[in-house]
Structure 1
Amino acid sequence: MKFHAKEDISLPRQIVFDHVSDFERLEKRAMRRDIEVKRTSGQGPLDVGTAWRLKFQFRGRSRKAMSEIVRFDAPEIVEIETETSGIDLRTQVDLIALSPTRTRLALSFDMTARTLSARLLVQSLKLAKGSIEAKLSERLEEYGRELESRASA
């Protein structure tokens, strides 16, 4: 099951990449949404192998997940693999320079179910794929506008 969204941002690719790969800020953002985040691979710079342990509520149950950076090609691609409750999730962030001052941020999620209950969840997500991708596009647009306003401030 795949989900895609893209947004054009009026900033150079390196600046967008710096924001997208600012995992400390992303960790704080997740914590504000009641997601417990703990980096398990030390405090050095981000690279392949950097990992986090996540704990969150989903559909009324406490869930745990492990996320790890599997590809980190600055300033073009960040790819993260996440394992949780019978689901493998691969997240890929691609940054394409449209011009020296404009960047396309493309986000994709590829979900694979390993258990029967996970297959049922993925099947229900397939039924709502259009609305999920619309929400994802909306959030990505908000994120792009936030980056632009932060860079201009």
Structure 2
Amino acid sequence: MNLSFQEDIALPQDAAFAALTDFDALIAAFMPRGGAVARLDGPGPVCVGTAWRTVVALHGLERVLTARIHTLCPQDRFSIQGEMDGIVAQLDVALDPAGQDCSRAQVDLNLAARSLRGKVLMQPLRLVRAQIAEKMAARLSRYARRIEARRG
């Protein structure tokens, strides 16, 4: 299942990238209230290979999600790979200039089942794909406005 989103951010590309790669703030914004995220590689700067583990609710059960930075190209793009119960996720974020003080974020999410369990979990997600896309687009837009307010 592939989902793509585009959002303009009223910040220069370098400032937008710095805000989008502030992973502590990003985790706080996108995790449900009360969710805990553990960094697996200890404190220090975020780089390729930095990994996190969290527990998320899916289909009424708590499931362990692990994610790690796959690519990190300063001022340009980054990608995160994750896995949960046979579902593999790839999140790609690319930034392009969209004017003098504006950037355009292109966000692509690919979810794929890698096991029978993953296929069983993915089936209901496919049925509500439109609702998932709508919620993610709204969250991305709210986050963009939040970082504009913080950095602007």
What TM-score, normalized by structure 2, do the two folds share? 0.90
Gaps of 5+ in 1: none
Flag the 1:61–1:144 CA change in 2: closer, same or farther, 3 A: same
2:17, 2:95 within 8 Å by CA — same for their partners in 1?
yes
Query: 1:9 matched to which residue of 2?
Result: 9
Aligned length: 152
In 1, distance between residues paired with 2:141 and 2:29?
17
Moved over 3 A (4+): 27-32
**Offset from partner CA, 1:5-52 (integer Å, 9 cap, x none):** 111111101111111111122333456623221111121211101111
Query: 2:126 matched to which residue of 1?
Result: 126
Gaps of 5+ in 2: none
Flag the 1:21–1:39 CA change in 2: closer, same or farther, 3 A: same
In 2, distance between residues paired with 1:32 and 1:128?
19
The one-letter amino acid paired with 1:57 is A
1:30, 1:37 within 8 Å by CA — same for their partners in 2?
no
Aligned counterparts, 1:109-120, within 5 A: 109-120=109-120
Greater mean deviation of Cα atoms: 16-25 or 117-126: 117-126
Query: 1:145 matched to which residue of 2?
Result: 145
Aligned counterparts, 1:71-82, within 5 A: 71-82=71-82
CA RMSD across the alignment: 1.7
Tell whether 2:53 aligns with 1:63.
no
2:14, 2:75 within 8 Å by CA — same for their partners in 1?
yes
